[in-house]
Chain A
Amino acid sequence: MNKLFALLVAALVLFGAVLAQQTPAGTNISNQASASYIDSAGQARTTTSNQVITVVQQVYSFSITPDGTQAAPGQTRNALPGAPVYFSYTVSNTGNGSDTINLTTVQDTGDNFDLSGTAIYLDANCNGTIDPGETTAITSVNLTRQGTAGASACVIVAGTIPASATNGQNGNLNLSGTSAGNTSVTDTNNWARATATTSAALTATKSASPAGSVNPGSNITYTISGSNVGGSAASGVSVSGLSGSGILIRDTIPNGLVVSTLPTGSAGAGTVQFVYSTTGTTWAPLTAGNLPLTGNGTIAIGMFISGTGAFFPQTASYTFSFQATVPAASAAGTTYLNSATVQFNNGTANQTVTSNTTTNTTASRYSVAIGGTGATAVDGADTQTLASAFSGSTVSFNSTLQNTGNASDSFTLSLGTSTLGVCTLFQSDGVTPLAGPVGPLAAGATYTVVVRCAIPASQTTGGSVTLTATSVSNPSGSVATLLDGVDATTLAVTSVVLGYGVDAAHNTNGAAGGESGDPANDSRAGYNPAVNPGGTAQFPFEVSNTGHNPDTYTFSATLPAGWTVAFYPDLNCDGSMDTPTPAPVSGTGLLNNGSTSCYIAVVQVPVGAAPVDATPVTGDNVQFTVTSTTLGSVSDTIRGAVDVNLVAQISLEPPRTGTITTPGTLTYTHTLVNNSNQSGVCSITGNGGSFGWTYQYSLDGSTWAASLSGVSVAANGGSQTLYVRVLTPAGQPIGRTDVNTLTASCTVGSASVSDSVTETTTVVGGDLRLTKTGVSFVGTSSTVRDANAATALPGDVIEYTVVASNIGTGNLTQVVITDPLPSYTNFVSVSATLSGFSGGTVLYSTNGTTWSTTAPTSLSAGSSIYVAVDTNGDNTISSADLMPPSATITIVFRVQVQ
């Protein structure tokens, strides 16, 4: 409202008359105060007051023009006695509400005559003439409030000069108005004069086409016409700047209107010439070269009817017409008043007759333009183009919105379907979102609209969005049509360039950056960490955000099966693990564009990994990939070569002892275990002992050979059972002990390893042979940890099996088998089974003297378990207890490792 007011004031200076609008009657002026404060608890709070409402009352006010007194009438009409005269008036409501103005005519008493047959007519088209359809007399006019189209009306007061009047007599008539809404509001000083004349009397009436409301930019055709209604011919007057004498019809061009075409006109007598004056006093012939003429309150245009003497006879008429253009920027409500005069000589004196006044008011035009970034907006379709932008970025467009209408207006802004991602409207500051219409904007005013579009990360083609502005007061029209209620501008980006990029590089220099360019930096010549199985290899690397937007990257790796990797931040980028060791990460976190951060990939080679010899660059076997979380297609991979060392280690266990008769045969077993990370091929040989006994070797216990070769043993704990058979010839001395050293020589990859084990065999006189084997279990479970009890961990159970066999041909007496509890073990159980006995009971003892049929449940450290067979039923063991040939006693003795 304020802006509108300012505009109106400005428009008043520039163009025709615009009245400040009063607040319409009935308007509520409401007001509500508010307060914001910080309360005693430190909280910001607001509160509002009551609302006060004041109602605007109607003000009754009107005017009738032209004004005049009896002494100085506002208009004068000359006519022959008995002829009618017509006075033109304009009645205007200057109040803030609708009103009815009652009109009456008043005769003067101090003049020569009263006009007869006076009547008031409504001159709807304001042409000063009672046209067909305007012939009904009126007594009042209804007017809407000031500032609206129906606020004023033209009326014509008609009267007739009495036929008895003589030349020069006159009669005055007043048009008096009274407001119906407030009868104390009147306008009574509108006197006009009719003069009876027998000399020449020219009339002048003026019309404007169109009448009343005119659109900005359109033309008004003014026509002034009249005739000699007097009693004799009219003569001309001399006019400054023009030669000869003539009748001058002059019209001051209304302020701001532009005449750009030559007038037309004709006269019943004399010679017609079109003329103009820039001073208002001195005139010159008007030619096309003098145009256009813009009204400034002084510039006048006219028609000069030249002739000699009394050349313009009675009833001769004239007409003069010209076109004036209303400026396109004419503010709504601007009024253009115009009247013309005709100057002539009636035979005795120069006369000037003034026509009625036409009133045109500029209609409201609501129109909008949007486009461009200049001080004025581009109307019609237009495009603002940004050559290039990065995906993932936000592009910002400023567009000028302009009220191209001639009245204050608000505008709704909307965005069409976007191919530039999500677009948002902002106020001129580019920060505050735009909600609701913009405005009101004064006529001609501009406003900068900001549109920001967030281009999707994956977009790589140009796009656009259409910004449309629509007048709230006139929401119709099309973009292509200028000066209407709808306009649009296209905001486009020609090319969208991928805004994301990443470079992963080996950190070879212990600093961020400074590496060779991608992809040369993706592998690292000469860097070839070698690790044992179970070891780790480190690859320092750095990640650079080479895009144009901040981004976050994740790490992934491609590794040989069973290998794992962990990534650690390397805050100082020195390529060495920071102290203390930081927590591993799965990605970079947010990395600004142009920034680099460092990490170390730690590759864990599993226990048992086979040897690897990888050549950097050409034979890389690990790779690490850095991938954008915004755009999965943006990634970089670096590669590295990790060598795994060959670890060669075998074991041949356990050493064995046994007894043998002479001659006799005894079979031992050993286990060959390959603890290397590669399979081995082994040769098995024995040294044959010291006494020429026969030692034979087998992998299956049935096929025997003097030595074995080409024995394959799988890597990482692969085992092979080796059987060793010793054959003693007859006649060996009892008590002889022979030791055979068995050696496994293995080739593991490029390495050779060997291990040896012994079998110690003692020749016994008797025929009792004892063999002892062991099996270790995982804890107390039945899972075998080692079939030869070569390894056992604390808590593991070891089961020993002792087999006593009578390998002779006669009975053995008082056979007692003793087995000590091994050191660092606890007794678990013992049991015995018999075969080859006819009857007999197993007896147990822990001291060798006291026997029991029940197996003991405990055995103290350092003690031994005694097992024997009672065959004579005396519940003890004596020489009477016999063990027949081929009989065996099998004892199962379980202990647990402490």
Chain B
Amino acid sequence: MYLKRWLATGAMFLAGLVLAQGGTDIRLDLKAHRVVTVQQEGKTLERLEAALDVKPGQVIEYQLNAQNTTEKPLRQVALIIPIPANTAYQALSAQPLQLGETLVTAEFSFDGGRTFGRPPLKRKVRVVENGKEVEKEVEVKPEEYTHARWVLPELGAKQTVLLRLRTVVR
């Protein structure tokens, strides 16, 4: 009996710790859905299924639910959804976020999240032209993106936003 109560107390203590540490003024909940298209009454419909497994060529939609758990607004909230290895970002699938008056569009990185920019992203390459080495800018294809980011100027108290993007399994 005593032992049980002690255990219960310990568990509560642990739970408290987790809360404090995760602390976390923002709760992030990421979900992966498999996008399935079905034909119904002559129309093509999309259905989202929990993506526990997937096959090459199929599309995964990642949905990120971000909630400000505090009673105060948070500033400069940057929400990042990585594009996992073995998948390719599907162009234009990162939905802009309407936040009050402002429309927050996604920025992308092709260098592992070090730098972000809005498409079209450019990369500098060195090539030899007419025997001379020159630096050229080439456009980075959406399939090469590694991270998507939405920068919210402010996330109000208790406010929740939902972000989504799609990737194709290679």
* Chain A residues whose C-beta falls within 8 Å of the C-beta of B25 in the assembled complex: 37, 39-40, 45, 47
**Interface: A57 (CB within 8 A):** yes
* Chain A residues whose C-beta falls within 8 Å of the C-beta of B57 in the assembled complex: 22, 59
Chain A residue nearest to B142 in the complex (CB) = A2
**Interface: B55 (CB within 8 A):** yes
**Interface: B158 (CB within 8 A):** no
If the complex has contacts A1-B85, A35-B77, A57-B54, are A47 and B32 also in contact, measured as CB distance less than 8 A?
A: no
**Interface: A838 (CB within 8 A):** no
**Interface: A349 (CB within 8 A):** no
**Interface: A520 (CB within 8 A):** no
A355-379, CB < 8 A from B: 374-376
* Chain B residues whose C-beta falls within 8 Å of the C-beta of A39 in the assembled complex: 25, 70, 72, 74
**Interface: A583 (CB within 8 A):** no
Asked if residues B30 and A31 are in contact (CB atoms below 8 Å), the reply is yes
A40 to B73, CA, bound (A): 7
Asked if residues A6 and B144 are in contact (CB atoms below 8 Å), the reply is yes
Q: Which of B30, B54, B87 contacts A49 (CB 8 A)?
A: B30
* Chain A residues whose C-beta falls within 8 Å of the C-beta of B128 in the assembled complex: 375-376
Q: Which of B22, B54, B76, B80 contacts A34 (CB 8 A)?
A: B80
**Interface: A176 (CB within 8 A):** no
Contacts between chains A and B (CB distance < 8 A), count? 139
Size class of the B contact interface (CB-based, 8 Å): 35 or more
Asked if residues B82 and A31 are in contact (CB atoms below 8 Å), the reply is yes
Q: Mark A31-57, 1 if CB is under 8 A from B, else 0.
A: 111111111100001011111101111
CB distance from B55 to the nearest CB of A (A): 5
CB distance from A137 to the nearest CB of B (A): 34
* Chain A residues whose C-beta falls within 8 Å of the C-beta of B88 in the assembled complex: 2, 5
Asked if residues A23 and B86 are in contact (CB atoms below 8 Å), the reply is yes
Q: Which of A5, A52, A56, A58 contacts B30 (CB 8 A)?
A: A52
CB distance from A333 to the nearest CB of B (A): 15
**Interface: A706 (CB within 8 A):** no
A709 to B149, CA, bound (A): 107
**Interface: A179 (CB within 8 A):** no
A1 to B72, CA, bound (A): 41
Q: Which of A21, A30, A50, A58 contacts B84 (CB 8 A)?
A: A30
Asked if residues A56 and B86 are in contact (CB atoms below 8 Å), the reply is yes
**Interface: B104 (CB within 8 A):** no
Q: Mark A54-76, 1 if CB is under 8 A from B, else 0.
A: 11111100000000000000000
* Chain B residues whose C-beta falls within 8 Å of the C-beta of A375 in the assembled complex: 126-128, 133
Asked if residues B84 and A31 are in contact (CB atoms below 8 Å), the reply is yes
Asked if residues B70 and A40 are in contact (CB atoms below 8 Å), the reply is yes
A440 to B57, CA, bound (A): 24
Asked if residues B84 and A56 are in contact (CB atoms below 8 Å), the reply is no
**Interface: A96 (CB within 8 A):** yes
Chain A residue nearest to B56 in the complex (CB) = A22
Interface residues of B, dominant DSSP: strand
**Interface: B78 (CB within 8 A):** yes
Chain A residue nearest to B62 in the complex (CB) = A31
CB distance from B35 to the nearest CB of A (A): 12
**Interface: B48 (CB within 8 A):** no
A residues contacting the other copy or chain, number (CB 8 A): 40
**Interface: B97 (CB within 8 A):** no
**Interface: A446 (CB within 8 A):** yes
Q: Which of A20, A29, A34, A376 contacts B87 (CB 8 A)?
A: A29
Q: Which of A21, A31, A35, A55 contacts B66 (CB 8 A)?
A: A35
A15 to B34, CA, bound (A): 35
Q: Which of A2, A20, A33, A96 contacts B146 (CB 8 A)?
A: A2
B78-136, CB < 8 A from A: 78-82, 84-88, 110, 126-128, 133
**Interface: A476 (CB within 8 A):** no
Asked if residues A36 and B86 are in contact (CB atoms below 8 Å), the reply is no
Asked if residues B54 and A31 are in contact (CB atoms below 8 Å), the reply is no
Asked if residues A38 and B55 are in contact (CB atoms below 8 Å), the reply is no
* Chain B residues whose C-beta falls within 8 Å of the C-beta of A51 in the assembled complex: 30
**Interface: A736 (CB within 8 A):** no
A375 to B88, CA, bound (A): 29
* Chain B residues whose C-beta falls within 8 Å of the C-beta of A27 in the assembled complex: 86
Most buried by A among B23, B25, B34, B145: B25
Q: Mark A609-648, 1 if CB is under 8 A from B, else 0.
A: 0000000000000000000000000000000000000000
Asked if residues B80 and A56 are in contact (CB atoms below 8 Å), the reply is no
CB distance from B73 to the nearest CB of A (A): 7
Asked if residues B76 and A38 are in contact (CB atoms below 8 Å), the reply is yes
Chain B residue nearest to A42 in the complex (CB) = B75
Asked if residues A37 and B23 are in contact (CB atoms below 8 Å), the reply is no
If the complex has contacts A56-B53, A57-B53, are A34 and B86 also in contact, measured as CB distance less than 8 A?
A: no
A14 to B44, CA, bound (A): 38
A436-482, CB < 8 A from B: 446
CB distance from B116 to the nearest CB of A (A): 12
4 smallest CB-CB distances across A and B, nearest first, come from: A49-B28, A40-B72, A2-B144, A22-B56
Please list 28 pairs of residues, one from A and one from B, whose beta carbons are closer than 8 Å in the complex, sorted by A's number: A1-B170, A2-B88, A5-B88, A21-B170, A22-B56, A29-B60, A30-B84, A32-B30, A33-B28, A33-B82, A34-B28, A35-B28, A35-B77, A35-B78, A36-B80, A37-B75, A40-B70, A40-B73, A49-B29, A51-B30, A52-B30, A52-B51, A52-B62, A55-B54, A56-B86, A59-B57, A375-B126, A446-B126
**Which residues of A pack against B, CB within 8 Å?**
1-3, 5-6, 20-23, 27, 29-40, 45, 47-52, 54-59, 96, 374-376, 446
